Amino acid sequence: MSTAEIILAIGVTAFIIYAAFNIFYVMELRRTSFAVRQLVEKAGENIHPTLVALRRALEDIGTVTDNVAELSKSLREAADAVTAAEKRIKALYLAYEDGISEAARANIAGVQAGIKAGVGTLLKGLKSKEGGSL
């Protein structure tokens, strides 16, 4: 065997080994490509229902936020009404302290009871509205 034949035999052997590895590599690449394609298809199938559910959840959160804002506004108005009633009662009490007659005292007690009943009814209405809207 001559040197050229030995080099040719080594070259052919190297090419065969190289081709075998490349064939194996291409087959693995095809399997990987197929697995990635299936993964993308499954993810695409699952993502739409997930987005729909997420959109519904966000809409529900928006509704709850609106209801909480409305309830907060109502409670703020009730607190303002209670504060105004307190100021009026204090003014009436100061007038009482300054010497209002017995008949006026009875009227003041009636006004106080009326305000107390009104505020109680208002708060009950707000509580029932809170339970129904959330």
Three-state DSSP state, 99: coil
Q: What is the pLDDT of residues 12-31, one digit of tens each?
A: 898 888 888 888 888 888 89
* CA distance between the termini of the chain: 95
Q: What is the pLDDT of residues 71-92, one digit of tens each?
A: 888 888 888 888 888 888 888 7
Could you tell me if 94 and 131 are in contact, meaning their C-beta atoms sit under 8 angstroms apart?
Answer: no
Domain boundaries, given as residue ranges, for the chain: 3-133
CA 48 – CA 39 distance, rounded (Å): 15
pTM: 0.38
**Rounded average pLDDT over 108-123:** 83
